[in-house]
Amino acid sequence: MTRRAVLAGSGALAIGGGLAAVLGAGGKTPVGASTTAGRRVLKAGTTSAPLIDEAFQIPVWGYNGSVPGPALRVGQGEAFEVLLENALDEETTIHWHGVRVPNAMDGVPHLTQPPVEPGERFRYAFTPEDAGTFWYHPHQRSFEQVGRGLYGPLIIEEADPPQVDRDLVWMLDDWRLDDQGQISGGFGSRHDAMMAGRIGNTITINGKPSAPLIARPNERIRLRLVNAANARIFGLDFGDLDPMVVALDGQPVKPHRLSAPLLLGPAMRADLIVDFDYPAGTRHSLRDVFYDGLEYELTTFECQGKEVRERRLPDPAPLPPNPLAEPELATAERHRIIFGGGMMGMMGRTASGSDARNEQRTGSGMMMERMGGSGMMSGGMMGWTVNGVSASGHVHDPIISAARGTTLLLDMTNETAWWHPIHLHGHSFRVLSRNGQPTRYQEWQDTVLMAPEERVEIAFVADNPGDWMFHCHILEHQAAGMMATIRVN
Ligand code: C2O
Ligand code: CU
C-alpha cells in the first residue's frame, strides 16, 4: 500500500513537543451522555472543551455543550426524533451521515430543507432501517462548523447485538491549534482547499487527548471508530492486537482480520471486535501510519487485572445483514464519473502519475514553484470538479437522474494527485472493484476512499427518492466544488 505525505504546508503533527507534550494526559470516557428514550434536543452553540488537557478549556462549537455531541442510540426500526436548536450566530442543519433517511430529513440546506436560522429550531424525525455506526454533523459551512466541533455519534442498535463486554465509540478528530492552544482561523482557506484540506496538528479521541485504554485479559470490546476530521486520513496499525473488522460505514462486512493498516478517510467508520487474549501487564500500541514520515502512536491498550473469562471468545459471527437492496449488475445503468482539479490537477493528467505523486511529497513550496514556473497555475487552481463542473452551493442540476429502482453502477476515476473520500447521501453502495480488481469483500460503504489516480466501481439500487448530494468528504474540497447531485425519481 502506498501512503503519501500530503501534509505539505499544513504543519506536521505535533506529537512529542509543544502542545502535543500533553497528548498523554487526560482520560478517555464514553462519548457524551447517552440518551435512549424520549425526545432529544440537540442545541448547536459555542462551548469549550479540554482538547489537549483536562485543565485547559478551549473555545469550540458543540452540541449540548460538548464535543462530541451526545451519543444518540436508537433501536433499528424504532422511530427517532431530534429537535435541533440553533444557538449559533449562523445558519445550520443536521445531516445524519450514512443513514438512509427520507430526503426531507437529510439536512442539506436549500436542497432538502431551508437552513435553520440563528435562534430557530428544526424537527428531524425518521425510522432508521439499518443498524450500525453512524454520525451526525451540520451540512452548512461544514468545513468550519464540523471543524470547530459540531458532530456526534448516532448508534443504531441491532435487535440482537453480538455479545461483547464493552461497546465503545471513538470519534477521531484532528484540530489545527495555534501556539496559544486556540483553534486557528483560516477555515476554508484556498491553500488548504486546493491541497489535502485542513490537516491539523492535534489529534483527539472523543474530544480529549488520547489516554491508554485499560482492558482485562480475555475481555471482548466492540470498538466503533468514526473519523470526524475535516481532512485527515487515518491508517491504523493495531500491531499484535489483530482485531476483527465486522462492519464498515455501519454496514456489516464478512468478519475479517486486517492485512494492512485500516484506512479511514474523513466520515468513514469501522466496527472492530477486539479480543484481549494477552496476560495482564502487556501493552499494545495503536499507531497511525498513513502519512509517510509522520507516523505516531495514536493510543495504547493495556491489559490489566483479573481475566474476564478463562479463554478468549470464539471469533465473532457476522452481524445480521441490513435490509439493503442487492444491485442487479446485469441490468445496471453505467455512468462514468471523473474527479478532477486541485493543485497539480493538470500535472496529474499530463505528467506520469508517479511524477505527480513525487511532486506532492516534496512540499507545497516546491509545488507552487513548479506550477508557477511551468505556467500551469491557472489549471491547477481552478477548483475541484466532478465531470468537469466545479459546483457551488448545494443546489445543482443532477449529474444523474435515475428511475426509482434502477441499479446504478458508477465507474469513478480520480484524475487528481490527491486522495478523496467520496460520499453519497441517502444510499449505501457496494464497492465492486478498484483499478479493475474485484474487491475482496464487496463491502457496503457510504464513503469510499479513492487514492490518487485510482479507478473505483460502486453499485447500488437507487431506491430512495429525492435529490442526493454526492461529494468529497474532505470538507474543504467539497466547499471548493467537489460535489454533485444524483436524482432518484
Ligand atoms: Cu457527512 Cu454530505 O456528508
Ligand atoms: Cu477530496
Per residue in 311-339, pLDDT (tens digit) is 999 999 999 999 999 999 999 999 999 99
DSSP letter assigned to residue 141 = S
Q: What is the pLDDT of residues 174-202, one digit of tens each?
A: 999 999 999 999 999 999 999 999 999 99
- Closest residue by Cα to atom 3, ligand 1, is 97
* Reported confidence tier of residue 38, pLDDT bands at 50, 70, 90: low
Ligand 1 mean position to 275 CA, how many Å?
A: 32
Q: Is the pLDDT of residue 12 over 80?
A: no
Cβ neighbours for 15, distance < 8 A, ≥ 6 positions apart: 23, 203, 296, 297
Atom of ligand 1 nearest to the CA of 135: 1
Q: Rounded to an integer, what distance in angstroms lies between the CA atom of residue 376 and that of residue 381?
A: 9
Q: Give pLDDT, residue 380.
A: 43
Q: Give pLDDT, residue 382.
A: 66
Grid cell locating 80: 427517532
Quote the strand ranges of 177-295, DSSP E: 202-205, 213-215, 220-227, 234-237, 244-248, 251-257, 262-264, 269-275, 283-288
What is the sign, positive or negative, of the torsion defined by CA atoms of 317, 322, 327, 333? negative
Identify the structural domains of the chain with CATH numbers, from first to last.
40-303 (2.60.40.420), 333-346+381-488 (2.60.40.420)
CB-ligand 1 contact for 226 (6 Å cutoff): no
DSSP letter assigned to residue 358 = H
Tell me which residue of 55, 47, 49, 3 sits closest to 25, measured CA to CA.
55
- Closest residue by Cα to atom 1, ligand 1, is 97
Chain-centre distance for alpha carbon 387 = 23
Which percentage of the chain shows pLDDT scores above 70?
84
Cβ neighbours for 98, distance < 8 A, ≥ 6 positions apart: 132, 134, 135, 249, 250, 267, 269, 428, 446, 447
Chain-centre distance for alpha carbon 27 = 23
Which percentage of the chain shows pLDDT scores above 90?
83
CA torsion angle 363 364 369 375 (round to 10): 120
Q: Span 106-127, mean pLDDT? A: 98
Higher pLDDT, 382 or 259: 259
Q: Is the pLDDT of residue 35 over 70?
A: no
Chain-centre distance for alpha carbon 262 = 13
Q: Give pLDDT, residue 343.
A: 82
CB-ligand 1 contact for 269 (6 Å cutoff): no
CB-ligand 1 contact for 394 (6 Å cutoff): no
- Kind and range of the H or E run holding 172: strand 166-175
Q: Span 304-308, mean pLDDT? A: 96
Q: Helix, strand or coil for residue 22?
A: helix
Q: Rounded to an integer, what distance in angstroms lies between the CA atom of residue 102 and that of residue 123?
A: 13
Q: What is the pLDDT of residues 416-425, one digit of tens each?
A: 999 999 999 9
Atom of ligand 1 nearest to the CA of 471: 2
Q: Rounded to an integer, what distance in angstroms lies between the CA atom of residue 177 and that of residue 49?
A: 13
Q: Closest-lying ligand to the alpha carbon of 423?
A: 1
Ligand 2 mean position to 264 CA, how many Å?
A: 14
CB-ligand 1 contact for 425 (6 Å cutoff): yes
Ligand 1 mean position to 163 CA, how many Å?
A: 31
Q: Span 215-243, mean pLDDT? A: 97
* Reported confidence tier of residue 22, pLDDT bands at 50, 70, 90: very low
Atom of ligand 1 nearest to the CA of 469: 2
CB-ligand 1 contact for 198 (6 Å cutoff): no
Q: Give pLDDT, residue 121.
A: 98
Q: Is the pLDDT of residue 3 over 70?
A: no
Q: Give pLDDT, residue 358.
A: 35
Tell me which residue of 336, 379, 358 sits closest to 452, measured CA to CA.
358
* Reported confidence tier of residue 29, pLDDT bands at 50, 70, 90: very low
Q: Is the pLDDT of residue 113 over 80?
A: yes
CA distances from 254 to 136, 251, 269, 437, 459 (A): 26, 10, 15, 18, 18
Q: What is the total residue count of the chain?
A: 489
Grid cell locating 400: 444523474
Q: What is the pLDDT of residues 234-263, one digit of tens each?
A: 999 999 999 999 999 999 999 999 999 999
Q: Is the pLDDT of residue 364 over 70?
A: no
Q: Give pLDDT, residue 463.
A: 98
Ligand 2 mean position to 380 CA, how many Å?
A: 14
Q: Span 457-475, mean pLDDT? A: 98
Amino acid sitting at position 42: L
Ligand 2 mean position to 430 CA, how many Å?
A: 20
Higher pLDDT, 371 or 162: 162
Q: Is the pLDDT of residue 24 over 60?
A: no
Q: Closest-lying ligand to the alpha carbon of 418?
A: 2
* Reported confidence tier of residue 15, pLDDT bands at 50, 70, 90: very low
Q: What is the pLDDT of residues 48-62, one digit of tens each?
A: 999 999 999 999 999
pTM above 0.85, yes or no: yes
Q: Give pLDDT, residue 39.
A: 76
Q: Span 33-56, mean pLDDT? A: 83
Q: Is the pLDDT of residue 220 over 70?
A: yes
- Using an 8 Å Cβ cutoff, are 127 and 81 in contact? no
Q: Tell me which of 157-161, 350-354, 410-414 is least confident.
A: 350-354
Q: Tell me the β-bridge partners of 470.
A: 424, 484
Q: Give pLDDT, residue 303.
A: 97
Tell whether omega for the bond before 153 is within 30 degrees of 0, i.e. cis. no
